[in-house]
Amino acid sequence: MTRPSKIECALLYQDFATVSPGGVLRHLNSGLEAEKISFDPVEISPDDTFALFAGHGFHVMISQTRSPLDFEGFGPALTSPYTQMIFPGADEAVHRHRSRVFITVGSGMPKPDKPKREQTAASSEPGESLGDFERKLMICRLLTNTMVLHNKPLAIHWCQSDQLMKPDTYEHFAHQAFPTPLFVHPSLFSSREIVETKHVIGLRTYGAAHLIGREIIFNEAPVPFGWLYERTCNFVDMARQSGSVIPHGESFGASNAEIIRVRHRPKSEKDPNGAIELTLERCDEHDFVLEQPTDVEPAQTEDAGEVVLNLNDPIDRAIAERRRELNLSPPRPSATTGGFRDAASSGGFGRRQDTRH
């Protein structure tokens, strides 16, 4: 699984004003006290424009610079339909900024003699666990929260998911316990088809693979974008919390009146780890029932925790067979019908089994 080796965030400002690194460090350590993580200062420049902290196997770099970032670096974020939806003035904010704060959170200590192109490579740290990756996300979020609290920027660029947002939007997400919407960028698409007076819309994620091993494609459906995105984030949260992705062919939903079918796509050039395909089959809330659901074809991949095995690949196939011998494959539910609940409840969001419509 390829994840960013560093978590980075840029805060864009019109006016330049430094924040005391000592105060940032105290705020950071206070926020991480429950996690038993603390940082110590390694280097702080005399003018406070650069700081390097280290601790618990991580490092933090904070650069406060009296110059703007190149406009070209924001290209993909600015052209994203999602950015245009939540931040109509994004172009203007990027053009207006004249200074910035840049936050970097990485593992170990930075290597100053290493070529920059290698230090900023997208590959994850060797042997890095998902837990350590998520800790870096949380550390960067805490630092960004501190900067926003001290001096509200024009815009915030969360680099891991390439999201450009207004401070108010960032704060709405960032104060959640685990802000999945901050870490998962939805790319919208639509065939412009109209189903019962409603335009269909679908999405593809960028960032979900960093958390659950694969990106998600939610096939277009005649429901609001916010509903589609919320269910996508719900799916990511379920996979994170359970430690595995819902198996191919099963479904989930917020109630028994909602069915979202899960399919596992095999590896491809665009999705080297495979992808998760979601299809809405029933949603009473928005008066939608898929009249002729497509039969679920046999899976071309096999789940094993975070790892998706391509059964067309001889090595992956051998691994899958060995896992079956050792009983390491994730358990499959029984063939009964009706709602599935991890807890003893009859409603609420969760994975389920169901009869096909």
Amino acid 82 reads Y
- Which tokens is 188 given? 């919208």
Domain boundaries, the chain: 7-176, 185-352
Query: Band of the pLDDT at 292, cuts 50, 70, 90?
Result: confident
Is pLDDT of 71 > 60?
yes
DSSP class of residue 285? Answer: G
Is pLDDT of 46 > 80?
yes
Is pLDDT of 76 > 70?
yes
Count of alpha carbons within 13 angstroms of residue 20, beta-carbon side: 4
Please give the average per-residue pLDDT across 80-105, as a whole number. Answer: 97
Looking at residue 301, what is its pLDDT? Answer: 54
Query: Band of the pLDDT at 246, cuts 50, 70, 90?
Result: very high
Beta bridge partners of 33: none
Write down the mean pLDDT value for the chain.
84
Distance, CA of 97 to CA of 333 (rounded, Å): 54
pLDDT digits (tens, 9 = 90+) for 125-169: 666 899 999 999 999 999 999 999 999 999 999 999 999 999 999
